[in-house]
Chains A and B, each alone.
Chain A
Amino acid sequence: MQGLGARGEASRIGKVSEPSVGEFVELMKPRVMSLVVFTALTGMLAAPGSIHPVIGVIALLAIAMGAGASGALNMWYDADIDARMARTAARPIPRGRVTGGEALTFGSILAVLSVLTLGVLVNWTAGALLALTIGFYLFVYTMWLKRRTPQNIVIGGAAGAFPPMIGWAAVTGSVSVESVLMFLIIFMWTPPHFWALALYRCRDYERAGVPMLPVVAGAEETRRQIWLYSLILVPLAITPVLIGLAGIVYGVVSAVLGAVFLYLAWNVRRITEGREADQAARQLFVFSILYLFLLFAVLLVEHAAARWIT
């Protein structure tokens, strides 16, 4: 017996579910999950005060579950455009291994459980922030902005910037200037990161009808905006030193990495033709991942070392 699911696709009502455990794990976007957990852990360690290790682990697990829920719900809603893009065509739903209904059910249950677990067992500030993150990613970015505006990942990027605030709130029960600064660093990092990807995957996004900036405004405007956001991001990423959130090691590392980031962003601005242009965009994209990882890694190590010493 067949019927139409929420996205107009056939759902297998009455048939026993087929997918494997691995395919449900794929729905959760495990690489994104690990980055979310990592930045949340950094927020937890950077926060003043302490948290019982058991509660800390529970908080991280709940945050991971929430990130997984967001991934599954995004894959449910975007199954149609995922099928049209080379980068995403191998995902479980376009591949026919998981139905949209299964992904929706799985994501919804995970979302509710993760927020309840974090709220009940840790605190409701962290729980509310996790609920806001999941809701923002699904309703604001995935369902509303992604298909409608080239500013989709600018505003939608806020969802990826919340985890350190959630980690901070798990310890302190509140939001602070420091946690907002960590949010802002990821928020300002998101546009150059995703636009670098969109530059060399432009045809993929065009085919799928996603209004990424290179598709709507052209490559030149995208390069200009990547450069502008990079100019804001690099000094912002050094600011933790000025407010006591980070030490001198972080300051030096951030300055060096920032210089490399600006060099690569300038290459993207400067090289506009041929394979070299794609290569410059790809280099910036790859480095941007390392950049964010190293910034938060150094911040984490500094705070972990300080706790261990005192």
Chain B
Amino acid sequence: MSPNSDEEQERQKRQRMRSLVIALALGVMAVLFYLATIVHLGGDVGNRPL
């Protein structure tokens, strides 16, 4: 393999890892927002007049 090809592979690997971390971070944020909403709504949220 040529050095340029190795560098390109390395660069793409770093880019993939960054994308993965961003995706995970966004996923964690979504989960945290969901959990916080459940906490703020309280345990008896289903028991209300509709």
Check if A16 sits within 8 Å of B17, measured CB to CB. Answer: no
Q: Which of the residues A16, A17, A121 comes within 8 Å of B33, measured between beta carbons?
A: A121
Name the interface residues of A16-66: CB closer than 8 Å to any CB of B.
16-21, 24, 52, 54-55, 58, 61
For B18, the chain A residues whose CB sits under 8 A away are 17, 19-21, 24
Question: Is A117 part of the contact surface with B, judged by Cβ < 8 Å?
Answer: yes
Check if A117 sits within 8 Å of B29, measured CB to CB. Answer: yes
For residue A98, give the distance in angstroms from its CB to the closest CB of chain B. Answer: 12
Check if A20 sits within 8 Å of B36, measured CB to CB. Answer: no
For residue A11, give the distance in angstroms from its CB to the closest CB of chain B. Answer: 18
Residues 64-97 of chain A, each 1 if its beta carbon lies under 8 Å from chain B, else 0: 0000000000000000000000000000000000
Check if B15 sits within 8 Å of A121, measured CB to CB. Answer: no
B: interface residue count bin: 10 to 19
Report the number of A-B residue pairs with Cβ-Cβ less than 8 Å. 34
Most chain B CB within 10 A, of A17, A21, A117, is at: A21
Check if A121 sits within 8 Å of B17, measured CB to CB. Answer: no
A: interface residue count bin: 10 to 19
For residue A165, give the distance in angstroms from its CB to the closest CB of chain B. Answer: 22
| C-alpha spacing A156/B33, complex, angstroms | 33
For residue A127, give the distance in angstroms from its CB to the closest CB of chain B. Answer: 13
Q: Which of the residues B11, B21, B32 comes within 8 Å of A121, measured between beta carbons?
A: B32
| C-alpha spacing A18/B8, complex, angstroms | 10
Question: Is B35 part of the contact surface with A, judged by Cβ < 8 Å?
Answer: yes
Check if A19 sits within 8 Å of B39, measured CB to CB. Answer: no
For A16, the chain B residues whose CB sits under 8 A away are 11, 15
For A113, the chain B residues whose CB sits under 8 A away are 29
Q: Which of the residues B11, B17, B29, B36 comes within 8 Å of A54, measured between beta carbons?
A: B36
Name the interface residues of B10-29: CB closer than 8 Å to any CB of A.
11, 14-15, 17-18, 21, 29
Check if A52 sits within 8 Å of B32, measured CB to CB. Answer: no
Sample 15 A-B pairs with CB under 8 A, ordered by A number.
Answer: A17-B15, A17-B18, A18-B11, A19-B14, A19-B18, A20-B18, A21-B18, A24-B18, A52-B39, A54-B39, A117-B29, A117-B32, A121-B33, A121-B36, A121-B40
Please list the 5 inter-chain residue pairs (A to B) with the smallest Cβ-Cβ separation, ordered nearest first. Answer: A121-B36, A20-B14, A52-B39, A21-B21, A54-B35
| A residues neighboring B (CB under 8 Å) | 16-21, 24, 52, 54-55, 58, 61, 113, 117, 121
| B residues neighboring A (CB under 8 Å) | 11, 14-15, 17-18, 21, 29, 32-33, 35-36, 39-40
